[in-house]
Homo-oligomer: A and B are copies of this chain.
């Protein structure tokens, strides 16, 4: 059963997928505007022009729907960052490029609300980290690992992960403050400068010995 080289999934399957996407998309918008707690399932299904039967057919519940939204947002952000650092060869340049990319990502209201603000509370911290592990945090870990390989530190993996966690937390907090500042442009520059100084310090340690 093939059409134009693609596997024909049947009308029913396509309609189903469309409904599911619509639910996730509407949920994403409402979660962004009103937060998780402030968004009712009734509002979501009304926006997607379906009923709760459809929602509970596709998702186990409100939290599962949120997680689907969360995953999509993270995936988008992760890809944006990855695209910006994959071509940088020098580890230190890669770090600075990644930082700039993240500061752009965090300006997206959806990312802030869904991932940073509501994410930990709704998913629980363990599940939150579990999701981060394969998206934005993964990018940070790659960068940190590559930076730490420049010196003669030879840190064990656990230590590399500790550094990644620290930088990830720093960037999240910084990103949040940037997008909430009255002058996000200037605030972003300050963050870039501050982390730049920290990186300079680490760089100084490697060249010193």
A159:B205 contact, CB within 8 angstroms = no
Which among A124, A125, A173, A187 has the highest number of chain B CB atoms within 10 Å?
A173
Cα–Cα distance between A124 and B34 once the two chains are bound (Å): 11
Interface 1/0 per residue, A192-209 and B, CB below 8 Å: 011101101111110010
Cα–Cα distance between A138 and B120 once the two chains are bound (Å): 24
- Give chain A's interface secondary structure class: helix
Stretch of A20-28, A69-77, A85-93, A164-172 lying at the B interface: A164-172
Q: Which residue of B lies closest to A126 (CB)?
A: B180
Interface residues in A90-129 by Cβ distance below 8 A to B read 112, 116-118, 120-122, 124-126, 129
- A residues contacting B by CB (< 8 A) are 35-37, 112, 116-118, 120-122, 124-126, 129, 158-159, 162-163, 165-174, 176-177, 180, 187, 190-191, 193-195, 197-198, 200-205, 208
